[in-house]
Amino acid sequence: MTRTAVFPGSFDPPTLAHVDLCERGARLFGTLVVGVLNNPEKTPLFNAEERVEMLRKSLSHLDNVQVTSFQGLLVDFVREQGAQAILRGLRAVSDFEYEFQMALMNRRLAQEVETVFLTPREDCTFISSRLVKQIFHFGRIPDNLLPASVEKSLKQKLTGRKTDT
Ligand code: PNS
């Protein structure tokens, strides 16, 4: 049986850690569906279409990876996609508590869906979208942590911000 996994996240913005995890997931599963959460209650740095577009560009070298956005419960999206697993990254022990709670809650909601954890490449373990955004808000973009398309979009936003004021 060919197995499908969903790799869900906010991806605001996507980082090289996300790309690394997708490459690993694409080797393990027949199909990997990257699910970009579109949460209407939040104001992200990039809207869902922009995040989907950046991810598609960053993952174009992976034939068995699809990128799409979703709203609502993750387990409903996983079932809609006909997937058997949720893929999540574990970078450090500090990720564990939140991931463990989510995995068990998702299992309560959908017994048949397994959560699989993968660890990114060592030099990606400190990368987080949250820190990238924090640095961006001070007008800087950290080097070598982001896919080219994301760096480009962030630079465009910075230039736009400077000409806005
Ligand atoms: O990249 P993130 O922000 O850590 O991803 C979190 C995400 C999108 C996986 C999580 O917030 C999620 O699954 N949201 C969808 C709503 C849902 O199913 N909530 C219950 C999770 S137990």
Q: Within 10 Å of residue 100's Cβ, how many Cβ atoms?
A: 13
- In degrees, rounded to 5, the angle at the alpha carbon of residue 50 between the alpha carbons of residues 45 and 55 is 110
User: Residue 165 above 90 pLDDT?
Assistant: no
ω into 8 cis (within 30 of 0): no
From 74, 111, 127, mutation site for ligand 1 pocket: most ligand atoms within 8 A of C-beta: 74
Per-residue confidence at 162, pLDDT binned at 50, 70, 90? Answer: low
pLDDT digits (tens, 9 = 90+) for 74-111: 999 999 999 999 999 999 999 999 999 999 999 999 99
Q: Within 10 Å of residue 34's Cβ, how many Cβ atoms?
A: 29
Atom number of ligand 1 nearest to Cα 11: 1
47-65 average pLDDT score: 98
Atom number of ligand 1 nearest to Cα 12: 1
C-alpha of residue 114 to centroid of ligand 1, in Å: 15
pLDDT at res. 164? 59
pLDDT digits (tens, 9 = 90+) for 28-47: 999 999 999 999 899 999 99
Strand pairing report for 85-89 and 114-118: parallel
Please answer whether residues 51 and 17 qualify as being in contact, where contact means their C-beta atoms are separated by less than 8 angstroms. no
